[in-house]
Amino acid sequence: MLLLLAALAALGALATNIILPAFPSIGEDLRVSSRDLAATLSSFFVAFALGQLFVGPLSDRFGRQRLVLTGLATFIVGSMVCAMASTLPQLIGGRVIQALGVCATSVLSRAIARDLFEGQELARALSLTMVAMAAAPGFSPLLGSALDSSFGWRSTFYVISALALVLAVVYITRLGETHAPDRRSALSLGGVAAGYKQLVFDRRLMAPALSVSLVIGGLYAFFSMAPAILITGFRLSPLAFGLFFASTTFVVFGSGLLAPRLARRWGPVVTARAGVAVALAGSAAMLVGGLEFVTFSVSLTIFLFGMGIFNPLGTAIALQPFALQAGAASALLGFLQMGCAALAITVGGMLSLPPHTALGVVLLASLAASSLCFWSMRLPR
């Protein structure tokens, strides 16, 4: 069950970055530049963020299973459109369809975890899903590079379509519906708007949710700037770049598994505050450490270690009070995460600084704001 939830959470993150190594091949095939292909990422993020706002309330009304399966089917359709695209607008359209489908699995993996677990068990389940969401972007460039070099860039979309189909079958046979009919809420446009308004002004959700989202924004800023820093700056080969990217996932994996154990001993709030403090220290070290591969790697490791502890616990703290609104609360959290990711990537690209320095500035600003938000709120212990 936990592995299935992790896979559902990871699918969107996998689809986000898997095409990055294939940009040269796609550009040559479609006769467009890499700068033009950036629209395939921005369009994906926008559709992903907005789609979540509808998926959450719909799942609270109609149940999780219907939305998960519809989302996976939509994702497969979008992937097929991408695989058969002959122009950039067709590819962008396919990416939008992909995002509208896969946003359901990302949102509902958290909502399903909230349906099934409480307290420490919820933190444990969310730790695994957060690890998967952080690990997938790390491994996806390596997988995308291997598929592109062996079978062509279109093969990446066929592979992730097959993965989505397998997940649908496993979901039907092993999990099924988790949101009981007697716990479902009524659905109306006014009710949805009122529900989101209530959540936005509820500091039990917004303080930890915004804190987690700011950290996620810093993580995606690293993903977007990594090629310029590692390939152009440190002269890593594409293979070495993929291996470095993949190695970062082990840091997140280890800290994510450690988080619930620390929370059992020290409490989730205390442990989460320690995690965000560690991530903040890594961000500061990256900014002042200088442009050297060793210092960059050490600073990044510190940031990822703290992030791996903070994110699952912060997410659990945010969702714990909202059993009856788990879908909407998870959707709002996902919207904030994608919004912060888009903002961090945009700001990093606009800074007239070397990529390494720009990343340090974005990370430090994101983590400082996250720490201030999380530490300033009175949260239950």
Query: Of 99, 86, 87, 94, nearest to 16 (Cα)?
Result: 99
Residue 118: pLDDT band (50, 70, 90) is confident
Which of 312, 134, 115, 131 lies closest to 208, judged by CA? Answer: 312
What pLDDT sits at residue 182? Answer: 65
Sign of CA dihedral 357, 358, 359, 360: positive
Question: Which of 154-163, 216-225, 371-380 is the least confident region?
Answer: 371-380
Separation of alpha carbons 288 and 360, rounded Å: 8
CB 183 within 8 A of CB 111: no
Residue 381 belongs to a domain: no
Instruction: Give the residue numbers spanning the domain of 312.
Output: 2-177+192-376
Q: What is the pLDDT of residues 35-53, one digit of tens each?
A: 677 778 778 888 888 888 8
- pLDDT above 70 coverage of the chain, percent: 93
Report if residue 182 sits inside a domain.
no
Place of tokens 């890499």: 34
Name 290's Cβ contacts closer than 8 Å, sequence gap at least 6. Answer: none
The pLDDT tens digits of the residues spanning 212-235 come to 999 988 988 887 777 778 877 888
Could you please report the per-residue DSSP string of 255-266? Answer: HHHHHHHHHHHH
CATH of the domain at 100: 1.20.1250.20
Q: Evaluate if residue 179 carries a pLDDT over 80.
A: no
Give, in order, the Cα–Cα distances in Å from 41 to each of 137, 287, 298: 13, 26, 28
pLDDT exceeds 60 at position 302: yes
Q: Give whichever of 77-91, 126-140, 239-253 has the largest mean pLDDT.
A: 77-91
In a domain, 183, yes or no: no
In angstroms, the Cα distances linking 46 to 156, 230, 279 are 22, 27, 27
Mean pLDDT of 248-257: 83
pLDDT score, position 75: 97
Tell whether 167 is covered by a domain.
Answer: yes
| Per-residue pLDDT tens over the stretch 261-280 | 898 889 888 999 999 999 99
Q: Could you give the residue ranges of the DSSP H alpha helices within 18-118?
A: 23-30, 34-37, 39-62, 64-83, 88-116
Q: Is residue 98 part of a domain?
A: yes
Predicted confidence band at 376 (pLDDT cuts at 50, 70, 90)? confident
- The pLDDT tens digits for 318-337 are 888 887 777 778 778 888 98
The listed range with the strongest mean pLDDT (33-42, 252-261, 307-316, 344-353) is: 307-316
Residue 381 has pLDDT above 60, yes or no: no
DSSP per residue, 316-333: HHHHTT-STTHHHHHHHH
Q: What does the radius of gyration of the chain's CA atoms come to, in whole angstroms?
A: 20
State the average pLDDT over residues 102-127: 80
pLDDT of residue 39: 77
Whole-number pLDDT of residue 16: 80
Q: Give yes or no for a contact between 367 and 218, defined as CB atoms under 8 angstroms apart.
A: yes
Q: CA 303 to CA 320: how far, in whole Å?
A: 26
Nearest to 349 by CA among 233, 232, 223, 246: 223
Number of folded domains that form the chain = 1
Coil, strand or helix: which one is 166?
helix
| Dihedral angle sign, alpha carbons of residues 163, 169, 171, 175 | negative
- Rounded to an integer, the average pLDDT of 207-213 is 92
The pLDDT, as a whole number, for residue 187 is 63
184 part of a folded domain: no
* pLDDT band, residue 110 (cuts 50/70/90): confident
What pLDDT, on the 0 to 100 scale, is given for residue 282? 94
For residue 272, how many other CB atoms are within 10 A of its CB? 29
pTM: 0.76
Q: How many whole angstroms separate alpha carbon 126 and alpha carbon 65?
A: 19
Mean pLDDT of 137-162: 87
- What digits encode the pLDDT tens for the residues 339-349? 888 888 888 87
Q: List C-alpha distances in Å: 253 to 162, 179, 249, 271, 375.
A: 25, 29, 6, 17, 25
Indicate the range of 77-86, 123-132, 298-307 predicted with least confidence.
123-132
Give the side-chain half-sphere CA count within 13 A for 18: 28
Q: Which of 342, 187, 364, 370 is nearest to 284 (CA)?
A: 364
Percent of the chain having pLDDT more than 90?
30
Please tell me what DSSP assigns to residue 229.
Answer: I
d(CA 275, CA 125): 18
Nearest Cα to 211, choosing from 362, 369, 364? 369
- Mean of the per-residue pLDDT values of the chain: 85
Question: How many CA atoms within 13 Å lie on the side-chain side of 61?
Answer: 12
pLDDT band at residue 34, thresholds of 50, 70 and 90? low
Mean pLDDT of the 29-37 span? 79
Residue 106 confidence (pLDDT) above 80: yes
First to last CA, the chain: 28
